Amino acid sequence: MADHYDVLGVSREATPEEIKKAYRRLARELHPDVNPSPDAQEKFKQVTHAYDVLSDPGQRRDYDRGPQ
């Protein structure tokens, strides 16, 4: 599984605003309505999942702790 920070192209110290900005940039580029490539669709799903985890403070804290 890819690192969520790498997927979004942000550092582990990224602020919530930086994470949101990176997500929006990638979502515009990879959204299936804009980019019909099957690769883009899979990457869009990865980007969306990474954003879902990193944009929620509780989930981000758990993710940063690593597997328990």
Phi-psi sector, 63: left (phi>0), alpha (psi -120 to 50), beta: alpha
pLDDT mean across residues, the chain: 94
pLDDT single digits (tens) 38-68: 899 999 999 999 999 999 999 999 999 987 6
pLDDT single digits (tens) 8-42: 999 999 999 999 999 999 999 999 899 999 899 99
pTM of the model: 0.90
Q: How far apart are CA 19 and CA 32, in angstroms?
A: 21
Structure tokens at 45: 């799903």
